[in-house]
Structure 1
Amino acid sequence: MKTTMIQRSKEIYQITIPTPFLVGPVNTYLIKGDALTLVDTGPKTAEAREQMENSLAELNLSFKDIELVVLTHHHPDHVGLIGEFLPNAKIAGHLKLKPWLEKDEQFYSRTRQFFYRFYREHGVPESWVREMDRSQNYYMDFTSPASVDFILEEGDLIDGLPGWRVLETPGHAQSHLSLIREKDGTMVAGDHLIEHISSNAIIEAPYFNETERPKTLLQYREALKKCINASLIFSGHGSMIRKPKELIEERIHAMDKKAQVFKRKMGEDPIQVFSLCQKMYPEIYRKQTALTFSETLGHLDLLEERGEVKAERSEGEIYYMKA
């Protein structure tokens, strides 16, 4: 198999790993700090394992040489191969990574129950809800259980990676964090910002003692603004981003424009999220129901925050209408 390993700087190497998902290959990053550190791993597949093994071998390294794995977020294409680095490596990530990585069955059950109720009250037919649940379970097959050794949060410095600081960057995932090297503004940003596609702000259930679902698109916009002074961003997919400020401003502007498209598509009568999703994405919603639903609800959250739409509950279901 052809390996894909690129030296990005004196101490940063990009290792690109194949995935079986529509998003395509995922970028992981080897950083030679005081500890030999890998940021993200790729999914749990034979192809991903072989690619990682071959790429490490180009540097005369093997799985057991990695001392620290930092996981940007819990999605399978970023964490699935973690088992190959145990028990030698320690694992660091956000607190909200823990229940996913540790395969907490109680957490899984609460999340599934939340989404069953949530999707139904927003107009998703029960058969579609079951299919979305099945799809979620399919993705989890590409992960391995592991424990998080070090919890990272906003502003933390990481033992073994001098000069790098943690930024919490929720939106695409509630567990998402990025790393920034303070001396030059270089970021390793996972899926927070990708040059060739806009990251989806995926709806998630409340965590731990939270009572409300996170409004992920609103979170994502604020987290983007935190990164606007970065000088260079290494992304989880695709090319490095050499002009982050321009791309961030472009993405925020695109959200504003798209919100107005959703508003026009609503029409004048009350409408549920799923119906609006179907109007906005008449073909793609069938294959990517959860993502297009998240996109629709996120823009309704934005419009609601601005006072342009309002939500009302009627007979256990939620409808949106222009304010």
Structure 2
Amino acid sequence: MKVSFHLSAPPAGVPAVSSLGGIQALRRDLFRVRLPMVNVYLLGEPGGRWVLVDAGMPGTAGLILRAAREIHGAQAPAAIVMTHGHFDHVGALHDLLHHWPVPVYAHELELPFLTGEAAYPFPDPTVGGVMSLLSPAFLPGPFDFRPQVRALSGDGPEGGQVPHVTGWRWLHTPGHAPGHVSLWREADRTLVAGDAFVTTPQQTASGALLNEPMQVEGPPPYYTPNWEAARASVQRLAELEPDLAATGHGHPMAGEPLRRELSELARRFDAEALPPRGWYLSHPVPTERREPGDPDPVRTLFLGSLAAAAAAGAWLRLRR
């Protein structure tokens, strides 16, 4: 079925901000769907094979399905690709899989969190900001999307081709989550960054709900359990010098302002992105692959989450 989808759209500096559930055409084959607090993206030209990137907040499946129908008609995605599996990126996944029983791809280090094996580290409300104080309500899982979950395959541990769409590579960009990936197309220097960095201060109410102010920021601090890995990931992405960055939170950014702010974040990451306090600053959760004889990473995550939850509870009691 031939689908014609036309939208006068950015880039340039981007915005032309749509309402919740609205669509922005960022490239001829890259579309943003703006959801409450978060974005999802559709990769693929209208009428052709396409994939969904991430699955938004709980209760947003209808908005995603409506946007997909507007762009791709009745054609289901060939797959759903997860940048990572935090609750605000998998919230509508069960409902979407009911309509589209397609493969769900994620980095192998994310699979324990998407197959019911482990919960993510507990979110840390002590890092500062209104949304951080609310973060104990942000469920860390475990989530179980079997039997659809598959591991992304690659030509090395740090990257590989994105399934079903040509020209796109996934890059391992951990820190915010152990198996976090970003998607990169060299041909037009387009980056789908997930939460490796964002373009609004997600820990604040105005940032999370209104996407204001619009500026390159580090990953959401209340849900980032390894800051050393997060720093390395931002530095890796800054070296790509992207022309367009479509992030999990905030509006897409493009051109020289994007490159300048991302480069500055990479250069001054500790000053710009690290929270003033927080459990994971001194208790990072490992992101490395497990070798024979290494401690069980699932057990490490579980024990670390218990300790973080206890520390957060004590801190909140002191504030009362």
TM over 0.5: yes
Question: Amino acid of the residue matched to residue 96 of structure 1?
Answer: L
CA–CA separation in structure 1 for the residues paired with 2:69 and 2:30: 16
Question: Amino acid of the residue matched to residue 11 of structure 1?
Answer: D
Query: Is 1:75 equivalent to 2:74 in the alignment?
Result: no
Query: Is 1:29 equivalent to 2:41 in the alignment?
Result: yes
Name segments (4+ residues, structure 1) moved above 6 Å: 131-134, 258-261
Q: Output aligned runs, 1:9-24, within 5 Å.
A: 9-18=27-36, 24=37
Tell me, yes or no, if the aligned pair for 2:172 and 2:181 is still in contact at 8 Å: yes
Query: Is 1:222 equivalent to 2:232 in the alignment?
Result: yes
Query: Is 1:248 equivalent to 2:262 in the alignment?
Result: yes
User: Structure 1 pair 261/158, CA: closer, same or farther in 2 (3 Å)?
Assistant: closer
Tell me what 1:84 maps to. Answer: 95
Tell me what 2:145 maps to. Answer: 145
Secondary structure of the 1:89 match is coil
Q: Output aligned runs, 1:241-280, within 5 Å.
A: 241-242=253-254, 243-257=257-271, 277=277
Identity %: 24
CA–CA separation in structure 2 for the residues paired with 1:260 and 1:246: 19
Query: Is 1:239 equivalent to 2:251 in the alignment?
Result: yes
TM-score norm. by structure 1 comes to: 0.61
Tell me, yes or no, if the aligned pair for 2:61 and 2:96 is still in contact at 8 Å: no
Query: Is 1:3 equivalent to 2:14 in the alignment?
Result: no
CA RMSD of aligned residues (A): 3.3
Please state which structure has a larger fraction of its residues in helix. 1
Query: Is 1:100 equivalent to 2:113 in the alignment?
Result: yes
Tell me, yes or no, if the aligned pair for 1:13 and 1:31 is still in contact at 8 Å: yes
CA–CA separation in structure 2 for the residues paired with 1:85 and 1:260: 35
CA–CA separation in structure 2 for the residues paired with 1:177 and 1:68: 16
Question: Amino acid of the residue matched to residue 15 of structure 1?
Answer: V
CA–CA separation in structure 2 for the residues paired with 1:66 and 1:230: 26
Structure label with greater radius of gyration: 1
Unmatched segments (≥5 aa) in structure 2: 1-18, 125-132, 202-216, 285-320
**How far apart are residue 139 of structure 1 and its match?**
4.9
Query: Is 1:176 equivalent to 2:194 in the alignment?
Result: no
**How far apart are residue 58 of structure 1 and its match?**
2.0
**How far apart are residue 78 of structure 1 and its match?**
0.8
Unmatched segments (≥5 aa) in structure 1: 19-23, 120-130, 205-215, 263-276, 278-291, 299-323
Tell me, yes or no, if the aligned pair for 1:67 and 1:88 is still in contact at 8 Å: no
Tell me what 1:65 maps to. Answer: 76
Tell me, yes or no, if the aligned pair for 1:69 and 1:92 is still in contact at 8 Å: yes
Deviations along 1:270-313, whole A, 9 cap, x unmatched?
Answer: xxxxxxx4xxxxxxxxxxxxxx4335767xxxxxxxxxxxxxxx
Tell me, yes or no, if the aligned pair for 1:186 and 1:232 is still in contact at 8 Å: yes
